[in-house]
Amino acid sequence: MRIAIVGAGALGLYYGALLQRSGQDVHFLLRRDFEAVSRKGLKVFSINGDFELPYVQAYRTPQEIGPVDLVLVGLKTFANDRYAELITPLVGAGTQILTLQNGLGNEEALAELFGAERIIGGVAFLCSNRGEPGEVHHLAAGRIILGEHQRIDPLRVEHLAAMIARAGVECRATDDLRRARWEKLVWNIPFNGLCALLQQPVDRLLASPATRRLVREIMLEVIRAANLQDLSRAIPEGYADSMLEFTDNMGGYKPSMQIDREEGRQLEIAAIFRIPLEFGSSRGGALPRVEMLATLLEQVQ
Amino acid sequence: MRIAIVGAGALGLYYGALLQRSGQDVHFLLRRDFEAVSRKGLKVFSINGDFELPYVQAYRTPQEIGPVDLVLVGLKTFANDRYAELITPLVGAGTQILTLQNGLGNEEALAELFGAERIIGGVAFLCSNRGEPGEVHHLAAGRIILGEHQRIDPLRVEHLAAMIARAGVECRATDDLRRARWEKLVWNIPFNGLCALLQQPVDRLLASPATRRLVREIMLEVIRAANLQDLSRAIPEGYADSMLEFTDNMGGYKPSMQIDREEGRQLEIAAIFRIPLEFGSSRGGALPRVEMLATLLEQVQ
């Protein structure tokens, strides 16, 4: 399959490298890493075993890549206003677009530009960071849940999931993408938000009973808001506790928003906070702690 | 009147200087400023006119001062475990103790050590900062509301208020000290808390509609908690708006907790947050934003 990676940060580089290693024809659209990757390929340092791709197809513009079968979008959501410019040259008659971005609103924005029938959403539970140019670090987890933005042909999602699984990634299809998106928000909202605000990694928050309780309260606000829509199954409150235990195994992991703040980048507040908050308040849900956290983040960014 | 100032920070130095200028016999217990004040007295830079006291009675220990008519307590509340050591040598048969400290719990702790009949509480609305040793800056406001901790003799509070007023401070007596304390918390909790957390002065918070709204929501949580007790009159919700307007005139003022954090001091979280929160939750009040703010402050201090 001919695949273009748009937004080759920690997520795009990691999954792109795995897909190339599994035999797919992968084309990376690069900015920061272009020189390094063109010259010496890509190095992946992974808990599942390090590997190296000495030759990688690297590009500076989407026009050089041209139409592909699959566009994998890993952009930071604050760059979504560049969708048209970056993706249009990659789209042909049968092109599918898979967004693995954070938060809500990405599928909708892509559907508006390229047609809902092309759009697949993926929720990635991945702990990875960029290293030096041409290097990526995979620290933990990595599984992906895929779903159609509009129910058209569930089989194509099964095929995509199978291809990703052949690359060594735990991947399954869901018929309720919204539920998967909100499940990830249950983690992303407290941990990305609080770690970025306090500039402390996840283990610092979990070590103190008061912040651990706050994380849980924020998770419960998100779960209650999620359940205001007709999900295939409600998210149980116990999901908060399993996410806390899951995070206990992450050590001193810094969520992406904390790294974005450290490195002076914009924060993904719209996709991770404001769109979910709008959804919640439009359904009469009260999310005082999530709202407060979003406001504090906007004030420091 | 023979007066001892215990806790001669920005507040103690300012009011002590005004009392001395008005002819009272004032004795300052000093630590950081002892050398400077002993050598060259005290300089007050005030919006009401600068003045200088070339000779000031400065001490390193309360034993050197001995019993006084009035102890004025301006300690940071996190030093309240030093009450006995610092105040006992100053107390004689008729000594009154006036605490102008922040938050809740100070009168109760003093009453336990020295007897409730001695204790007067004062709520000071003062914007002042310490400058170089021997200097204090009065930036805005300054009025004091005085009240007995236990109703014994309202007249003595009237007399004390009159003495303070003669020193040039707007001062009145109240028969509902708790209400005055909670009114001050309506300001202290959002502004001390948010300015310290974000390391931004009050005008930065007021300039953004989202943080201005957050400040107001926090104020309303405090007002609702205050009104869970039988105050002489409930605090109206409109008090939040008048506090916002009052603060609009303060420019880039940094509340004391922000300065405490900048200077690496402990934060007054117990008196300003935890004791009010305990009160609220014991009466079934929900203060999610205040609780979250307290937790965040504890996590960064």
B-side interface with A, Cβ within 8 Å?
194, 197-198, 200, 204-205, 208, 210-211, 213-214, 217, 288-289, 292-293, 295-296, 298-300
Taking CA atoms, what residue in B is nearest to A287? B288
List, for residues A216-244, the tens digit of each pLDDT value.
Answer: 999 999 999 999 999 999 999 999 999 99
Catalytic residue flag (residue B43): no
- Cβ–Cβ contacts within 10 Å for residue A206, how many? 17
Q: How far is B217 from chain A (nearest CA, A)?
A: 10
DSSP state, B9?
T
Asked whether the whole model's pTM tops 0.90, one would answer yes
Which secondary-structure segment (H or E) carries A119? strand A119-130
Which residue has tokens 């102008």? Answer: B100
Taking CA atoms, what residue in B is nearest to A221? B288
pLDDT at A15 over 90: yes
List, for residues A265-274, the tens digit of each pLDDT value.
Answer: 999 999 999 9
Taking CA atoms, what residue in B is nearest to A204? B299
Domains of chain B: 2-175 (3.40.50.720), 179-300 (1.10.1040.10)
What residues in A contact B221, CB-CB < 8 Å? none
> Do B192 and B272 touch, CB atoms closer than 8 A?
yes
Cβ pair A213:B299 closer than 8 A: no
Q: Which of A208, A296, A300 sits opposite B299 (nearest CB)?
A: A208
What residues in A contact B296, CB-CB < 8 Å? 194, 197-198, 211, 214
Q: How far is A209 from chain B (nearest CA, A)?
A: 10
Looking at the DSSP bridge assignments, the partners of residue A59 are A29
- Compute the distance between CA of residue B140 and CA of residue B158 in angstroms, rounded to an integer: 24
The alpha helices in A56-153, defined as continuous H runs, are 62-65, 83-87, 106-114
Cβ pair B217:A288 closer than 8 A: yes
pLDDT tens digits in sequence order for chain B, 301 residues long: 999 999 989 999 999 999 999 999 999 999 999 999 999 999 999 999 999 999 999 999 999 999 999 999 999 999 999 999 999 999 999 999 999 999 999 999 999 999 999 999 999 999 898 889 999 999 988 999 999 999 999 999 999 999 999 999 999 999 999 999 999 999 999 999 999 999 999 999 999 999 999 999 999 999 999 999 999 999 999 999 999 999 999 899 999 999 999 999 999 999 999 999 999 999 999 999 999 999 999 999 9
What's the token pair of residue B292?
């979250």
- Compute the distance between CA of residue A216 and CA of residue A191 in angstroms, rounded to an integer: 10
Q: Which of B210, B288, B299 sits opposite A198 (nearest CB)?
A: B299
pLDDT at A141 over 90: no
pLDDT at A140 over 90: no
* pLDDT value of position A8: 87
Please name which of A124, A21, A19, A130 lies closest in space to residue A71, comparing C-alpha atoms. Answer: A19
Q: Residues A157-162: contacts with CB within 8 Å, 24+ apart? A: A157/A120, A160/A70, A160/A96, A160/A98, A160/A120
Q: Between chain A and chain B, how many beta carbons pairs sit less than 8 Å apart?
A: 52
Which secondary-structure segment (H or E) carries A123? strand A119-130
Taking CA atoms, what residue in B is nearest to A291? B214
Q: How far is A221 from chain B (nearest CA, A)?
A: 12
Cβ pair B299:A210 closer than 8 A: yes
**Dihedral through CA A224, CA A227, CA A228, CA A229, nearest 10?**
160
